[in-house]
Homo-oligomer: A and B are copies of this chain.
Amino acid sequence: MTYSIAQAAERSGLSIDTLRYYERIGLVDPPARDSGGRRSYSDDDLSWLVFLTRLRTTGMPIRMMREYAQLRHHGAATAGRRKQMLFEHRASVRERIAELQSCLDVLEYKIAHYEQIEHTFVEGITA
């Protein structure tokens, strides 16, 4: 299967402009072109794009994604280095989750506090 840029955008969740931008900065390889000079994305291209969106969602900066992309380019010899990157990134995602969780606790506390106020207020009215 091949996909037009609009289809690739829809399936990856990136915008058309972002696809071209990613190509420009070397985050994705230039895809094939059809007879009219238009981009024609392959299934492989698509799965790389989808993987990139995962990395992006987890907050990996573009410069790091680019480094990963370049390593990938150099084949199996760089597999260890790439695994290392994912390893480290996984640790940072876990930390980020823990951080969010702890802020969530603060939010819970604050919300409970507001509920306390409401409760007191209602009691004051009905008392």
Chain A contacts to B: CB under 8 angstroms: 51, 54-55, 57-58, 76, 79-80, 82-83, 86-87, 89-90, 93-94, 96-97, 99-101, 103-104, 106-108, 110-111, 114-115, 117-118
For A93, A96, A103, which residue has the most chain B Cβ atoms within 10 angstroms? A103
* Cα–Cα distance between A114 and B106 once the two chains are bound (Å): 38
The one of B57, B99, B111, B114 in contact with A57, judged by C-beta atoms closer than 8 angstroms, is B99
Q: Report the minimum CB–CB distance from A120 to chain B (whole Å).
A: 11
Contact, CB under 8 Å: B100 / A57: yes
Q: B residues within 8 A CB of A118?
A: 79-80, 83
Contact, CB under 8 Å: A90 / B114: no
Q: Would you give 21 A-B contacts (Cβ < 8 Å), ordered by A?
A: A51-B110, A55-B103, A57-B100, A76-B117, A79-B114, A79-B118, A80-B118, A82-B114, A83-B111, A83-B115, A83-B118, A86-B110, A86-B111, A87-B111, A90-B107, A90-B108, A90-B111, A94-B104, A96-B100, A97-B101, A100-B100
